[in-house]
Amino acid sequence: MNVLLVGLGRWGENHLRVLQELGVTVWACDLSAERRAAAARGGLDPSRIVSDFASVLHRVDAVDIVTPADTHLDLAARSLRGGKDCFVEKPLTLTVGEARQLVDIVETTGRILQVGHIFRFHPVTDLLRRCLAEARVGRVRYLRGRFAGFKRPRIDVGVTQTDAIHYFDLFAHLLGQAPTAVTATLRDYLGRGLDDLSFVTVEYGEVPAFVEAGYFGPGPARDCVVVGDRGSLVADFARSLVTVFPHQHQRRGREWTAQEGEPEEVKGTGEEPLRRELEAFVESVGSHRPPSVDVREGLLALRVVEAAQLSSRAGRRVAFDEV
Protein backbone atom coordinates (compact mmCIF):
# COMPACT_ATOMS: atom_id res chain seq x y z
CA MET A 1 0.00 0.00 0.00
CA ASN A 2 1.24 3.50 -0.87
CA VAL A 3 0.36 6.22 1.63
CA LEU A 4 1.04 9.93 1.15
CA LEU A 5 1.82 11.71 4.43
CA VAL A 6 1.05 15.42 4.13
CA GLY A 7 2.76 17.40 6.91
CA LEU A 8 6.15 16.65 8.46
CA GLY A 9 5.89 18.78 11.60
CA ARG A 10 6.37 17.46 15.12
CA TRP A 11 3.31 15.19 15.06
CA GLY A 12 3.81 14.39 11.39
CA GLU A 13 7.23 12.95 12.26
CA ASN A 14 5.48 10.49 14.57
CA HIS A 15 3.10 9.53 11.77
CA LEU A 16 6.09 8.97 9.48
CA ARG A 17 7.78 6.68 11.99
CA VAL A 18 4.64 4.60 12.60
CA LEU A 19 3.72 4.29 8.93
CA GLN A 20 7.22 3.02 8.20
CA GLU A 21 6.90 0.53 11.06
CA LEU A 22 3.62 -0.71 9.57
CA GLY A 23 5.43 -1.56 6.35
CA VAL A 24 3.52 0.66 3.93
CA THR A 25 5.32 2.54 1.18
CA VAL A 26 5.43 6.11 2.46
CA TRP A 27 5.41 9.19 0.28
CA ALA A 28 5.79 12.53 2.07
CA CYS A 29 4.86 16.13 1.34
CA ASP A 30 5.72 19.36 3.13
CA LEU A 31 6.12 22.96 2.04
CA SER A 32 9.26 23.28 4.19
CA ALA A 33 12.52 22.35 2.47
CA GLU A 34 14.10 21.89 5.88
CA ARG A 35 11.50 19.33 6.90
CA ARG A 36 11.77 17.52 3.59
CA ALA A 37 15.54 17.33 4.03
CA ALA A 38 15.11 15.99 7.56
CA ALA A 39 12.83 13.22 6.27
CA ALA A 40 15.44 12.25 3.69
CA ARG A 41 18.17 12.19 6.34
CA GLY A 42 15.88 9.95 8.37
CA GLY A 43 15.95 7.32 5.63
CA LEU A 44 12.93 8.12 3.47
CA ASP A 45 13.65 7.80 -0.25
CA PRO A 46 14.18 11.40 -1.52
CA SER A 47 12.36 10.52 -4.74
CA ARG A 48 9.19 10.07 -2.67
CA ILE A 49 9.44 13.45 -0.88
CA VAL A 50 7.69 16.38 -2.58
CA SER A 51 6.49 19.92 -1.96
CA ASP A 52 3.29 19.62 -4.03
CA PHE A 53 0.99 16.86 -2.85
CA ALA A 54 -1.10 16.93 -6.05
CA SER A 55 1.96 15.95 -8.08
CA VAL A 56 2.04 12.46 -6.57
CA LEU A 57 -1.60 11.92 -5.64
CA HIS A 58 -2.02 9.53 -8.56
CA ARG A 59 0.82 7.37 -7.19
CA VAL A 60 -0.79 6.51 -3.84
CA ASP A 61 -3.73 4.58 -2.39
CA ALA A 62 -4.42 6.78 0.64
CA VAL A 63 -3.54 10.15 2.15
CA ASP A 64 -2.62 10.93 5.78
CA ILE A 65 -3.20 14.62 6.54
CA VAL A 66 -1.25 16.07 9.50
CA THR A 67 -1.37 19.79 8.74
CA PRO A 68 -2.97 22.90 10.32
CA ALA A 69 -6.76 22.70 10.60
CA ASP A 70 -7.40 25.44 8.05
CA THR A 71 -5.91 23.22 5.31
CA HIS A 72 -7.89 20.06 6.10
CA LEU A 73 -10.95 20.75 3.98
CA ASP A 74 -9.00 21.52 0.81
CA LEU A 75 -6.52 18.64 1.15
CA ALA A 76 -9.12 16.06 2.13
CA ALA A 77 -11.62 17.17 -0.52
CA ARG A 78 -9.01 16.98 -3.29
CA SER A 79 -7.87 13.57 -2.07
CA LEU A 80 -11.36 12.10 -1.78
CA ARG A 81 -12.43 13.43 -5.16
CA GLY A 82 -9.21 12.00 -6.56
CA GLY A 83 -10.33 8.56 -5.44
CA LYS A 84 -8.10 8.33 -2.36
CA ASP A 85 -9.07 7.31 1.17
CA CYS A 86 -8.07 9.77 3.89
CA PHE A 87 -6.89 9.97 7.47
CA VAL A 88 -7.36 13.49 8.87
CA GLU A 89 -5.89 14.51 12.19
CA LYS A 90 -8.25 16.19 14.63
CA PRO A 91 -9.86 18.63 14.49
CA LEU A 92 -11.53 17.37 11.34
CA THR A 93 -11.76 20.91 9.91
CA LEU A 94 -11.59 24.49 11.07
CA THR A 95 -15.39 24.92 11.29
CA VAL A 96 -18.58 22.89 11.49
CA GLY A 97 -19.61 24.23 8.10
CA GLU A 98 -16.42 22.84 6.55
CA ALA A 99 -16.92 19.51 8.33
CA ARG A 100 -20.41 19.21 6.87
CA GLN A 101 -18.93 19.75 3.42
CA LEU A 102 -16.59 16.82 4.03
CA VAL A 103 -19.51 14.66 5.16
CA ASP A 104 -21.19 15.35 1.82
CA ILE A 105 -18.00 14.63 -0.13
CA VAL A 106 -17.45 11.33 1.69
CA GLU A 107 -21.03 10.27 0.96
CA THR A 108 -20.76 11.33 -2.69
CA THR A 109 -17.40 9.68 -3.38
CA GLY A 110 -17.91 6.59 -1.23
CA ARG A 111 -14.34 6.90 0.04
CA ILE A 112 -13.08 6.22 3.57
CA LEU A 113 -12.28 9.12 5.90
CA GLN A 114 -10.96 8.37 9.40
CA VAL A 115 -10.56 11.18 11.93
CA GLY A 116 -7.58 11.20 14.29
CA HIS A 117 -9.23 11.01 17.70
CA ILE A 118 -6.37 9.12 19.30
CA PHE A 119 -7.89 8.67 22.79
CA ARG A 120 -10.17 6.03 21.23
CA PHE A 121 -7.07 3.84 20.78
CA HIS A 122 -5.48 4.30 24.19
CA PRO A 123 -5.23 1.25 26.48
CA VAL A 124 -6.87 3.33 29.22
CA THR A 125 -9.96 3.73 27.06
CA ASP A 126 -10.12 -0.04 26.63
CA LEU A 127 -10.06 -0.40 30.42
CA LEU A 128 -12.73 2.25 30.93
CA ARG A 129 -15.04 0.62 28.39
CA ARG A 130 -14.53 -2.78 30.02
CA CYS A 131 -15.25 -1.44 33.51
CA LEU A 132 -18.40 0.30 32.28
CA ALA A 133 -19.57 -2.81 30.41
CA GLU A 134 -19.08 -4.82 33.61
CA ALA A 135 -20.98 -2.15 35.61
CA ARG A 136 -18.04 -1.84 38.01
CA VAL A 137 -19.25 1.57 39.21
CA GLY A 138 -22.96 1.22 38.48
CA ARG A 139 -24.93 3.89 36.65
CA VAL A 140 -22.78 6.81 35.50
CA ARG A 141 -23.64 10.07 37.25
CA TYR A 142 -21.03 12.40 35.74
CA LEU A 143 -17.60 12.57 34.11
CA ARG A 144 -14.65 14.92 34.35
CA GLY A 145 -11.68 15.34 32.03
CA ARG A 146 -8.51 17.45 32.11
CA PHE A 147 -6.13 18.09 29.24
CA ALA A 148 -3.96 20.87 30.58
CA GLY A 149 -0.44 21.98 31.38
CA PHE A 150 2.05 24.77 30.74
CA LYS A 151 3.02 24.56 27.07
CA ARG A 152 3.35 26.42 23.77
CA PRO A 153 -0.07 27.37 22.35
CA ARG A 154 -1.10 25.98 18.99
CA ILE A 155 -1.46 28.81 16.46
CA ASP A 156 -4.24 27.56 14.16
CA VAL A 157 -7.03 26.77 16.65
CA GLY A 158 -7.86 27.46 20.29
CA VAL A 159 -7.31 25.10 23.19
CA THR A 160 -10.93 23.91 23.15
CA GLN A 161 -10.53 22.75 19.56
CA THR A 162 -7.12 21.13 19.99
CA ASP A 163 -7.18 19.68 23.53
CA ALA A 164 -10.65 19.68 25.09
CA ILE A 165 -11.98 18.05 21.91
CA HIS A 166 -10.25 14.81 22.96
CA TYR A 167 -12.77 14.43 25.78
CA PHE A 168 -15.75 15.57 23.75
CA ASP A 169 -15.16 12.57 21.49
CA LEU A 170 -14.07 10.20 24.25
CA PHE A 171 -17.11 10.76 26.48
CA ALA A 172 -19.54 10.34 23.58
CA HIS A 173 -17.68 7.10 22.78
CA LEU A 174 -17.81 5.82 26.39
CA LEU A 175 -21.46 6.72 26.93
CA GLY A 176 -22.66 5.77 23.47
CA GLN A 177 -24.67 8.98 23.30
CA ALA A 178 -24.43 12.25 21.41
CA PRO A 179 -24.28 15.54 23.36
CA THR A 180 -27.51 17.38 24.04
CA ALA A 181 -26.37 20.74 25.46
CA VAL A 182 -23.21 22.73 26.21
CA THR A 183 -22.30 25.47 28.70
CA ALA A 184 -18.83 27.00 28.57
CA THR A 185 -16.42 29.66 29.77
CA LEU A 186 -13.53 30.34 27.39
CA ARG A 187 -10.75 32.89 27.87
CA ASP A 188 -8.14 34.48 25.59
CA TYR A 189 -5.57 35.68 28.12
CA LEU A 190 -2.75 35.93 25.56
CA GLY A 191 -4.82 38.17 23.27
CA ARG A 192 -4.33 36.04 20.17
CA GLY A 193 -7.97 35.83 19.14
CA LEU A 194 -7.97 32.15 20.17
CA ASP A 195 -9.04 30.67 23.48
CA ASP A 196 -6.20 29.51 25.73
CA LEU A 197 -8.27 28.47 28.76
CA SER A 198 -11.46 26.44 28.52
CA PHE A 199 -14.04 25.12 30.97
CA VAL A 200 -16.84 23.27 29.21
CA THR A 201 -19.85 21.38 30.57
CA VAL A 202 -21.25 18.95 28.03
CA GLU A 203 -24.57 17.24 28.73
CA TYR A 204 -25.01 13.74 27.33
CA GLY A 205 -28.68 13.40 28.13
CA GLU A 206 -28.89 13.32 31.93
CA VAL A 207 -25.14 12.76 32.36
CA PRO A 208 -22.99 15.91 32.57
CA ALA A 209 -19.29 15.96 31.71
CA PHE A 210 -16.89 18.69 32.86
CA VAL A 211 -13.85 19.33 30.68
CA GLU A 212 -10.88 21.60 31.47
CA ALA A 213 -8.17 22.55 28.99
CA GLY A 214 -5.53 25.27 29.15
CA TYR A 215 -1.94 26.31 28.59
CA PHE A 216 -1.16 27.88 31.97
CA GLY A 217 -1.29 25.54 34.96
CA PRO A 218 1.48 23.12 35.88
CA GLY A 219 1.23 19.73 34.31
CA PRO A 220 0.83 17.94 32.09
CA ALA A 221 -2.59 16.62 33.12
CA ARG A 222 -4.16 13.94 30.92
CA ASP A 223 -6.76 12.35 33.12
CA CYS A 224 -10.45 11.73 33.56
CA VAL A 225 -12.88 10.55 36.23
CA VAL A 226 -16.08 8.57 35.74
CA VAL A 227 -18.36 8.72 38.77
CA GLY A 228 -21.14 6.19 39.16
CA ASP A 229 -23.66 5.37 41.86
CA ARG A 230 -21.51 2.48 43.12
CA GLY A 231 -18.00 3.83 42.69
CA SER A 232 -15.61 5.80 40.53
CA LEU A 233 -13.01 5.21 37.83
CA VAL A 234 -9.94 7.45 37.86
CA ALA A 235 -7.98 7.25 34.61
CA ASP A 236 -4.45 8.55 34.07
CA PHE A 237 -3.60 8.50 30.36
CA ALA A 238 0.03 9.50 30.95
CA ARG A 239 0.63 6.52 33.26
CA SER A 240 -1.77 4.22 31.38
CA LEU A 241 -3.53 3.45 34.65
CA VAL A 242 -7.12 3.14 35.83
CA THR A 243 -7.98 3.04 39.52
CA VAL A 244 -11.34 1.57 40.51
CA PHE A 245 -12.81 3.03 43.72
CA PRO A 246 -15.72 0.84 44.93
CA HIS A 247 -17.53 3.34 47.14
CA GLN A 248 -21.14 4.40 47.55
CA HIS A 249 -23.54 6.22 49.81
CA GLN A 250 -26.06 4.22 51.81
CA ARG A 251 -29.11 5.53 53.65
CA ARG A 252 -29.77 4.54 57.21
CA GLY A 253 -32.97 6.07 58.44
CA ARG A 254 -32.69 9.80 58.01
CA GLU A 255 -28.90 9.74 57.60
CA TRP A 256 -26.50 8.79 54.84
CA THR A 257 -23.22 6.95 55.27
CA ALA A 258 -20.21 6.94 52.93
CA GLN A 259 -18.98 3.37 52.44
CA GLU A 260 -15.48 3.09 50.96
CA GLY A 261 -14.04 -0.09 49.51
CA GLU A 262 -10.45 -1.00 48.69
CA PRO A 263 -9.20 0.73 45.52
CA GLU A 264 -7.93 -1.48 42.70
CA GLU A 265 -5.32 -0.33 40.19
CA VAL A 266 -5.48 -1.75 36.67
CA LYS A 267 -2.59 -1.14 34.29
CA GLY A 268 -3.26 -0.67 30.60
CA THR A 269 -1.06 -2.59 28.19
CA GLY A 270 -0.61 -2.81 24.46
CA GLU A 271 0.91 -0.98 21.53
CA GLU A 272 1.17 2.80 21.43
CA PRO A 273 -2.14 4.52 20.56
CA LEU A 274 -0.86 6.13 17.35
CA ARG A 275 0.26 2.76 16.00
CA ARG A 276 -3.13 1.22 16.81
CA GLU A 277 -4.89 4.18 15.21
CA LEU A 278 -2.92 4.17 11.95
CA GLU A 279 -2.98 0.39 11.78
CA ALA A 280 -6.78 0.54 11.96
CA PHE A 281 -6.78 3.06 9.11
CA VAL A 282 -4.51 0.94 6.92
CA GLU A 283 -6.67 -2.11 7.58
CA SER A 284 -9.82 -0.14 6.78
CA VAL A 285 -8.35 1.02 3.46
CA GLY A 286 -7.15 -2.49 2.59
CA SER A 287 -10.46 -4.17 3.41
CA HIS A 288 -12.76 -1.32 2.31
CA ARG A 289 -14.51 -1.53 5.68
CA PRO A 290 -15.86 1.55 7.52
CA PRO A 291 -13.23 3.42 9.56
CA SER A 292 -12.95 3.24 13.35
CA VAL A 293 -13.77 6.96 13.74
CA ASP A 294 -15.75 8.21 10.77
CA VAL A 295 -16.37 11.69 9.39
CA ARG A 296 -19.68 12.11 11.23
CA GLU A 297 -18.00 11.42 14.58
CA GLY A 298 -15.40 14.05 13.74
CA LEU A 299 -18.23 16.47 12.96
CA LEU A 300 -19.93 15.64 16.26
CA ALA A 301 -16.86 16.60 18.31
CA LEU A 302 -16.44 19.80 16.31
CA ARG A 303 -20.06 20.76 16.97
CA VAL A 304 -19.31 20.65 20.71
CA VAL A 305 -16.43 23.08 20.11
CA GLU A 306 -18.66 25.54 18.28
CA ALA A 307 -21.40 25.14 20.88
CA ALA A 308 -18.83 25.99 23.57
CA GLN A 309 -17.71 29.07 21.65
CA LEU A 310 -21.31 30.23 21.26
CA SER A 311 -22.09 29.55 24.91
CA SER A 312 -19.10 31.54 26.12
CA ARG A 313 -19.91 34.50 23.85
CA ALA A 314 -23.61 34.54 24.66
CA GLY A 315 -23.28 33.66 28.35
CA ARG A 316 -25.89 30.92 28.22
CA ARG A 317 -26.52 27.21 27.85
CA VAL A 318 -26.59 26.15 24.19
CA ALA A 319 -28.74 23.29 22.95
CA PHE A 320 -26.75 20.99 20.72
CA ASP A 321 -29.13 21.30 17.79
CA GLU A 322 -28.28 25.02 17.61
CA VAL A 323 -24.94 24.21 15.96
CATH number at residue 66: 3.40.50.720
- On average, the pLDDT of the chain sits at 97
169 with 278, same domain: the answer is no
Give the model confidence (pLDDT) of 232-254 as tens digits. Answer: 999 999 999 999 999 999 999 99
Give the model confidence (pLDDT) of 59-73 as tens digits. Answer: 999 999 999 999 999
pLDDT at 262: 95
Is 297 within a domain? no
Q: Is the pLDDT of residue 219 over 90?
A: no
Q: Is the pLDDT of residue 94 over 90?
A: yes
Q: Distance between CA atoms of 67 and 150, rounded to whole angstroms? A: 23
Is 221 within a domain? yes
What average pLDDT does this structure show over 318-323? Answer: 97
pLDDT at 89: 98
C-alpha angle 28-33-37 in degrees, rounded to nearest 5 = 65
Residue 292 — very low, low, confident or very high, per pLDDT cuts 50/70/90? very high
Is 243 within a domain? yes
Q: Is the pTM of this model over 0.75?
A: yes
Is 298 within a domain? no
Q: What is the CATH number of the domain that holds 223?
A: 3.30.360.10
Q: Which domain holds residue 59?
A: 2-116+274-290
Q: Distance between CA atoms of 13 and 32, rounded to whole angstroms? A: 13
89 with 211, same domain: the answer is no
Longest CA–CA span in the chain (Å) reads 78
Give the model confidence (pLDDT) of 186-207 as tens digits. Answer: 999 999 999 999 999 999 999 9
Give the model confidence (pLDDT) of 80-92 as tens digits. Answer: 999 999 999 999 9
130 with 258, same domain: the answer is yes
What average pLDDT does this structure show over 275-297? Answer: 97
Q: Are 32 and 38 in contact (CB under 8 A)?
A: no
65 with 126, same domain: the answer is no
Q: Distance between CA atoms of 111 and 114, rounded to whole angstroms? A: 10
267 with 144, same domain: the answer is yes
State which H helix or E strand residue 180 sits in: none
Is 22 within a domain? yes
Percent of the chain at pLDDT exceeding 90: 98
236 with 167, same domain: the answer is yes
264 with 214, same domain: the answer is yes
Q: Is the pLDDT of residue 229 over 90?
A: yes
238 with 171, same domain: the answer is yes
